[in-house]
Amino acid sequence: MFLPPRTRLWASLSRSGAPKRFASTKSLKETLQEVIPRKQEQLKKLKAEHSQTVVGDVKVENIIGGMRGIKAMLWEASVLDPNEGIRFHGLSIPDCQKVLPTAPGGKEIIAESMLWLLLTGQVPTEAQTRQLSLELAEKGDLPPFVEKLIDSFPATLHPMTQLGMSVAALNHDSLFQAAYEKGIKKSEYWSHTLEDCINLIARLPALAARIYRNVYKPGTPLPPLNKDLDLIGNYSALLGFGDNHNLTEYLRLYIALHGDHEGGNASAHTAHLVGSTLADPYLSYSAALFALAGPLHGLANQEVLRWQLAMQEELGSDVSHDQIRKYLWKTLNSGQVVPGYGHGVLRNPDPRFLALQQFCDSRPELEQSSIVRLVKKTFEVAPAVLKEHGKTKNPYPNVDATSGCVLYHYGLREFKYYTVIFGVSRALGALTQQVWARALGLPLERPKSLSMDALEKLIK
Ligand SMILES: CC(=O)SCCNC(=O)CCNC(=O)[C@H](O)C(C)(C)COP(=O)(O)OP(=O)(O)OC[C@H]1O[C@@H](n2cnc3c(N)ncnc32)[C@H](O)[C@@H]1OP(=O)(O)O
Ligand SMILES: O=C([O-])CC(=O)C(=O)O
């Protein structure tokens, strides 16, 4: 039975509050086959009954202000509330932490259960999650020419550039593109797109880990994919951290939480825009990765670590609130942004930041870590400084403020690599939408632009 998200959450919690799973044995594709006709019907009804209903207005400030606040995209998997933060099909982060299956022996949400939720709007069973893990591990090997391509990159090429280029090269094997060339019907687009999306997600650990090894641990052999591990268990092992359970668990949580942040963020929006031309999922996601690689977006997590380490270098480890305050002012007065703070939509501390901080608070070794403590102390000071500075509409931390310090503490210290981990994650949401865009037959994205002269004419 298909239930609205909130009802489904309550239905998936037993009376004792412990998660209870539905006993479905359906595969991901079978589940989607069930869900898609209902969504198609919903869209048809919206079009028929409300095409002309006004849901917002556009001011000049929206046009010159990066389209902030304009409701202009359909995005199925998640919606962002400025104060509450993200909900995935209606489920908040704490809701997801209660009901989504974890890895055997683990406590954190895994990529597979988040992907299932994003794609279907349903909480998968333990068995469905394991089945998906196995499918991903079976499909995770790289084509030899892509391995060669990655190996040919100079180690000085930024890891995000390497990731974007290698994801684009995987389109050599795009099933959607091959089927399109044969001339398939529009109603068949989504199933080929789904195959591509699953194949791409499956290959991301091997791809991202190969980049890491080449750049930072040259000459160390990559282990084969382990069919008994989940996607991120394998990623951690490929990176060389497989026996670090704490880091593996952190990566699982990190990657589940960064998976989707509604549609307007720069990476997801880029994937959607490029995908709307019917470019295949590899090309669309490759483009998204280059948007993620900008310092106002995903690259901010690299910038946060660089900034916090520079602060530590200058002030020492045992730093006072007052010293941090002065350091923040120095950054602001030199005309730079404080990385990890502010947001295009959020107006409160990012619940992803809070969830990652909670992870830190639950582990004694992280509570003792000088970099983790510095990040926490910065949070205790920065909002007041940013409020006094008076520019940013949101003086609170976003997820990037804290995501890197835990990696750093656990030994993954090459912070130029951090956005690659974000890039492995964002595929979950961006590619989910690609499937939905094809299933719903969404059109080419093409908003209207205006010159300043044209705008002035319109105002008159
Ligand atoms: C996963 C993610 O992508 S989360 C975001 C990651 N990015 C960062 O952490 C980088 C630092 N933050 C920022 O640059 C911004 O807050 C952004 C890009 C995230 C959002 O930008 P906007 O929606 O334009 O923010 P906002 O409307 O509050 O900006 C108003 C002014 O405040 C400034 N401002 C915003 N955030 C900050 C900050 N953290 N430090 C200093 N100034 C800031 C803006 O630069 C802008 O200044 P301007 O008028 O001189 O151009
Ligand atoms: O929503 C945004 O604009 C940026 C962000 O936090 C994300 O993409 O995760």
**Ligand 2 mean position, distance from CA 265 (Å):** 5
The best mutation among 61, 290, 391 to test binding of ligand 1, ranked by most ligand atoms within 8 Å of the C-beta, falls on 391
Which helix (DSSP H) or strand (DSSP E) does residue 119 occupy? helix 111-120
First CA to last CA across the chain, in angstroms? 55
> Does the Cβ of 398 fall within 6 Å of ligand 2?
yes
Average pLDDT over residues 66-70: 96
Residue of 56, 77, 76 lying closest to 67 (CA atoms) = 56
> Does the Cβ of 120 fall within 6 Å of ligand 2?
no
Q: Whose CA is nearest to atom 15 of ligand 1?
A: 342
pLDDT tens, residue by residue, 98-107: 999 999 999 9
Average pLDDT over residues 150-158: 98
Domain with CATH 1.10.580.10 in the chain: 133-293+414-439
Which ligand 2 atom sits closest to the C-alpha of 344? 3
DSSP string, 123-169: PPPHHHHHHHHHHHHHT-PPPHHHHHHHHHS-TTS-HHHHHHHHHHH
Q: Does residue 297 carry a catalytic annotation?
A: yes
Decide if pLDDT at 404 tops 90: yes
Measured CA to CA in angstroms, residue 366 lies from 98, 253, 407 at distances of 23, 15, 10
Which one of the ligands is nearest to 301 CA? Answer: 1
Which ligand 2 atom sits closest to the C-alpha of 399? 6
Name the pLDDT band for 21 (thresholds 50, 70, 90). very low
> Does the Cβ of 403 fall within 6 Å of ligand 2?
no
Q: What is the pLDDT of residue 25?
A: 87
Q: What is the pLDDT of residue 120?
A: 98
Q: What is the pLDDT of residue 23?
A: 59
Q: Whose CA is nearest to atom 3 of ligand 2?
A: 265
> pLDDT > 90: what percent of the chain?
94
Which one of the ligands is nearest to 351 CA? Answer: 2
Average pLDDT over residues 397-422: 97
Helices (H), 293-399: 300-315, 321-333, 351-361, 364-367, 370-389
Rounded Cα gap, residues 424 and 106, in angstroms: 20
What would the CATH number be for the domain defined by 133-293+414-439?
1.10.580.10
Average pLDDT over residues 156-166: 98
Q: Does residue 141 carry a catalytic annotation?
A: no
pLDDT tens, residue by residue, 234-269: 999 999 999 999 999 999 999 999 999 999 999 999
Domain 300-409 belongs in CATH node 1.10.230.10 = yes
Which ligand 2 atom sits closest to the C-alpha of 400? 6
Domain with CATH 1.10.230.10 in the chain: 300-409
Q: What is the pLDDT of residue 24?
A: 78
Measured CA to CA in angstroms, residue 391 lies from 335, 385, 387 at distances of 12, 11, 8
The best mutation among 261, 292, 393 to test binding of ligand 2, ranked by most ligand atoms within 8 Å of the C-beta, falls on 261
**Ligand 2 mean position, distance from CA 344 (Å):** 8
Q: CB-based burial of residue 61 (10 Å sphere; 0-12 exposed, 13-18 middle, 19+ buried)?
A: exposed
Decide if pLDDT at 391 tops 90: yes
Which one of the ligands is nearest to 329 CA? Answer: 1
Decide if pLDDT at 22 tops 70: no
Name the pLDDT band for 317 (thresholds 50, 70, 90). confident
Which one of the ligands is nearest to 391 CA? Answer: 1
Q: Does residue 158 carry a catalytic annotation?
A: no
> Does the Cβ of 270 fall within 6 Å of ligand 2?
no
> pLDDT > 70: what percent of the chain?
95
- Positive or negative, the CA dihedral 166, 167, 169, 172 is positive
Decide if pLDDT at 5 tops 50: no
Decide if pLDDT at 18 tops 60: no
> Does the Cβ of 265 fall within 6 Å of ligand 2?
yes
Q: What is the pLDDT of residue 382?
A: 98
Structure tokens at 128: 């469905």
Q: CB-based burial of residue 305 (10 Å sphere; 0-12 exposed, 13-18 middle, 19+ buried)?
A: buried
Catalytic residue among 95, 196, 260, 400: 400
Dihedral of the alpha carbons of 270, 357, 93, 24, in degrees to the nearest 10: 100
Supply the mean pLDDT for the chain: 94
Average pLDDT over residues 454-458: 97
Is the CB of residue 228 less than 8 Å from the CB of residue 213?
no
Name the pLDDT band for 302 (thresholds 50, 70, 90). very high
The best mutation among 350, 398, 428 to test binding of ligand 2, ranked by most ligand atoms within 8 Å of the C-beta, falls on 398
Structure tokens at 197: 């999306």
Between helix 321-333 and helix 370-389 the angle, nearest 10°, is 60
Q: What is the pLDDT of residue 7?
A: 39
